[in-house]
Chain A
Amino acid sequence: MIPRFISQEALKEWVEHLITQFSVYAPVQEKGDYDFAKIAHAEEIAFDFDRTRMSIKGFFLKPEEKLMSASASKGDPVASSPDTSKRIIFGARPCDITALNLTDNVFVKDFYDPYYMKRRQSTIIIGIRCTEKCRTCFCGTMDSNNPLTGYDIMLTEMDTGEILIQAGSDNGEKLFRGSRHLTRQSSEEDQSLILKTFKKITETFTPDIPTTGLKAIIDLGRTEFLWKKYEKICLSCGQCVFVCPTCWCFDVKEIVGADETDFGNLDKTARIRRWASCLYKDYHTVSGGHIFMPTVASRLENYYKHKLRGIPEKFGVWGCVGCGRCVSTCPVGIDIRESLKELTGD
């Protein structure tokens, strides 16, 4: 699709139109922060949002979900089927989309996870490009502010206030069928406007933390000082993990008598999956009581190295997308941007 333009007013009208066909989730202002919620009207959208409290990973990897149920005596496993009604996430930020692309590598390519995949396939993603840095952003450094795939539509606000529409998939293009009258075609005169806006965005998101020598520094093992320093203050609350768009670890529990409608029936069992955190001792404890990573320092080292060393080697991209949610949620003020600077000696 050749990029088109839409005015801010018409965009709201278009969203109203989408709401009649799909469940639409968009950032709304809630409890002093922004969060994704199902909306009934375009007015509810907080268009001035920088980023949401939680990333969009929870739409695909549910915080808590039943994977299957079974009978204790007969077996009969029945897999749960996730809700696959078509839905739209409106307003995903580029860093979240980059994270989602990385998540696909793990949950689709490495191991096929039907629960994740079904939700992924039934979700249309409309991204909104950032034109300014947010509270804790360092996505320029982590090369995540310009995802090339992973979205169906990408919206970019121009200097003039008009919004540029780029389709990223056939599904995205289809969304504008029947609503073309709300948009206008781009002409040659728009070219300079588009270039000007994108140039400004590129300048805004120029990498500002050095990462070139990071691999060598981590491989040399000169990182101990940092984990030891953080160990003294980290509460092991695990919040950084839950807000992180690229933390996917989960825990699986078997539950007995799990049927709410048939309380006390011991024959009914269920398998529950819920978010877990590698910063908990429990996560590293195995049968017999052995703990693979007994110290907070070793767990922090694992957390950072996974993002800055492990994922880059395996998938060719950073395992951190620079959204900085961990920075604002950390109760003791551990700041990954400072960690990077300390590691690279800046």
Chain B
Amino acid sequence: MSEKPRVGIFGMTSCYGCQLEIINLEENILRLLDHVNISYWRLALETPSDPKNLDIAIIEGSASNQEEIEELREIRQNSKIVITIGACAALGGVQGMRNLMNNERVMSAAYSNLSGVRATEVKAIHEVIKVDYAVRGCPINKEEFAAAILHLLAGTQPPAWNMPVCNECKIKGNECFFERKKPLPHYQSRVCLGPISEAGCGARCPSNGMPCDGCRGWTEDAHVKQWIKEGLERNQTIEDLAMLVHRYSGGTKDSEIAKE
């Protein structure tokens, strides 16, 4: 390799937790730096940096105002490959729930003075610009992120996960939270989103005794209606179930399902 690829890391509307996960790679970041130059990273670079002529742009967060939409378009023009990280970028994230609510009510609940607020409808990054690859999750799995970068550097496709969390959960040998005849444990007020949510996290939550939260979004052929029916049979209210399915992806897809 003659010159190391130039990487820019950007943050849109989000908690910056995914970028923190990259920092949490700790000494392995140095090994990644053997292969790439980070030329822009507002969160972690001390020196002024340059967001132009990038080989890879890594974007966290969703587009929630006009400035961000314009910044995203600029990033796309200045980069060869665009990777998004996290649930906000891939699905809209928690703030995406705003799209389903009365915008003014949400705004006035959050701010006492609305004069400076410029929020628009929340959009996932791929709804604004072309995205080449998404590392999903809330937050991202740092190992998966590193693996995706290494695969790109080696010139191969990063792994794809077109299967539900149940796959990884069963591989880990976890107890199932969604068995039909089993009563929900007293601490479990919600049902598991595993059967309709995309894998790749290593069944992180179920392995630690919590039902899946669906932070990676739905699988391609998720049967959401049936999942809701099953949830209702498990004594959940339709409001709770709708909130669960829309927690991360509320603004961006199939919001009409909640109405049924």
Contact = CB atoms under 8 A, between A and B. Distances in A.
A239 B206 CA distance: 14
A131 interface: no
A54 B173 contact: yes
A254 B156 contact: yes
B223 interface: yes
B181 interface: yes
A278 to B, nearest CB: 11
Contacts of B220: 281
B151 to A, nearest CB: 5
B169 to A, nearest CB: 8
A281 B221 CA distance: 8
B171 A256 contact: no
A266 interface: yes
B136 to A, nearest CB: 15
B97 to A, nearest CB: 24
Interface stretch (B30-38, B45-53, B60-68, B239-247): B30-38
Interface residues of A, number: 43
A235 B28 contact: no
A79 interface: no
Given A31-B175, A233-B226, A330-B180, A266 B162 contact: no
A33 B180 contact: no
Interface string A49-76: 0000110001000011000000010000
A242 B32 contact: no
A256 B226 contact: no
Nearest to B28: A263
Interface residues of B, number: 41
Contacts of A256: 147, 150-151, 154, 156
B195 interface: yes
Interface in B197-251: 219-223, 226-227, 230
A333 interface: yes
A328 B179 contact: yes
Interface string B151-174: 101101001101110110011110
Contacts of A243: 170
Interface string B128-163: 000000000000000000110011011010011011
A5 to B, nearest CB: 35
A196 interface: no
A242 B176 CA distance: 12
Interface in B1-53: 28, 31-32, 34-35
Name the residue in A58, A239, A280, A331 with the highest tally of chain B Cβ atoms < 10 Å from its Cβ: A331
B236 to A, nearest CB: 13
Contacts of A236: 164, 195, 219, 221, 223
A53 B173 CA distance: 9
A270 B173 CA distance: 23
A229 to B, nearest CB: 13
A333 B229 CA distance: 12
14 contacts: A35-B173, A63-B172, A233-B226, A235-B164, A235-B223, A235-B226, A239-B166, A242-B170, A263-B28, A264-B150, A285-B162, A328-B179, A331-B180, A331-B230
